[in-house]
Amino acid sequence: MPEDLELVRALARGESAALDALMQAHLDALVRITRLVAGDHAAALDAAQEAFIRLWRNPGAFTGGSLRAWLVTVARNIALNEHRGERRRSGRHETARIRVPSDPEIRAANSDELALVIAFLDQLPEQERTALTLFAVEGMAQAEIARVLGTSEAAVKQAVLSARRKLRERFDA
């Protein structure tokens, strides 16, 4: 978005209000997406905030395109690295999981059906789970998702189609 690019330029000029505006525009989406890898809200928030800190420290690292995709990539990588480190420290070898939020207000808003879908999504391979969530929930374009996942648009399309097929097979029966 043009306003994102202007805010990054303002950030490079040392205007701290630009960081506040960028965080206000993107933090919630970043936390939702990063929670897919991080597993809980606090870890997702930490990874998202670290992505903004990296942008603040080095606004030149963003070279154009979609700032949202860039931030998602950075936050996702931070969360993945942290998750891998936790698995090594604990000796567990589980995949990243989507968890039903523990916050009472959020949990109360979720229906039983949504909990079943989330539990099923938890079983999908990470690439399918992330691609489907970025596409269907966050509304990102396939090109942006490909950039986030470090893959091709064709691979993103296949991952979304495969995840949708699996969901239909599971819940249409």
Does 111 or 168 have the greater pLDDT score? 168
Could you give the CA distance from residue 41 to residue 78 in angstroms, rounded to a whole number? 14
- As for how many domains the chain has, the answer is 2
Residue with tokens 């990470």: 126
Chosen domain end from 96, 112, 140 = 96
Chosen domain end from 43, 63, 96 = 96
Could you give the CA distance from residue 162 to residue 125 in angstroms, rounded to a whole number? 10
| CATH code of the domain in which 163 resides | 1.10.10.10
Domain residues for the domain of 108 are 104-173
Task: Judge if 78 and 16 occupy the same domain.
Answer: yes
Task: Judge if 108 and 92 occupy the same domain.
Answer: no
Q: Are 57 and 88 within 8 A, CB to CB?
A: no
Does 92 or 139 have the greater pLDDT score? 139
**pLDDT of 17 above 70:** yes
Give the CA distances from residue 102 to residues 50, 55, 107, 152, 160, in Å, rounded to whole numbers and listed in that order: 23, 30, 6, 35, 27
Task: Judge if 92 and 121 occupy the same domain.
Answer: no
Q: Are 41 and 35 within 8 A, CB to CB?
A: yes
Tell me the one-letter amino acid at 138: E
Tell me the one-letter amino acid at 89: R
Does 117 or 13 have the greater pLDDT score? 13
Could you give the CA distance from residue 140 to residue 143 in angstroms, rounded to a whole number? 8
Task: Judge if 5 and 53 occupy the same domain.
Answer: yes
Question: Which burial class, exposed, middle or buried, applies to 87 when counting CB atoms under 10 A from its CB (0-12, 13-18, 19+)?
Answer: middle
Could you give the CA distance from residue 138 to residue 79 in angstroms, rounded to a whole number? 18
Sign of the Cα pseudo-torsion (120, 96, 140, 148, in order) = negative
- DSSP letter at 61 equals G
pLDDT of residue 98: 45
pLDDT (tens digit, 9 = 90+) per residue, 18-38? 999 999 999 998 888 888 877
Task: Among 34-48, 103-117, 123-137, name the one with the lowest average pLDDT.
Answer: 103-117
pLDDT (tens digit, 9 = 90+) per residue, 47-87? 999 999 999 999 999 988 889 889 988 998 898 888 665 55
| CATH code of the domain in which 38 resides | 1.10.1740.10
pLDDT of residue 13: 93
Task: Judge if 158 and 135 occupy the same domain.
Answer: yes
pLDDT (tens digit, 9 = 90+) per residue, 82-108? 866 555 545 544 444 444 455 555 555
Task: Judge if 40 and 116 occupy the same domain.
Answer: no
Closest CA to 37 of 98, 112, 91, 88: 98
pLDDT of residue 83: 64
Average pLDDT, the chain: 80
Task: Judge if 109 and 92 occupy the same domain.
Answer: no
Could you give the CA distance from residue 102 to residue 53 in angstroms, rounded to a whole number? 27
pLDDT of residue 18: 93
Q: The whole model's pTM is what? A: 0.59
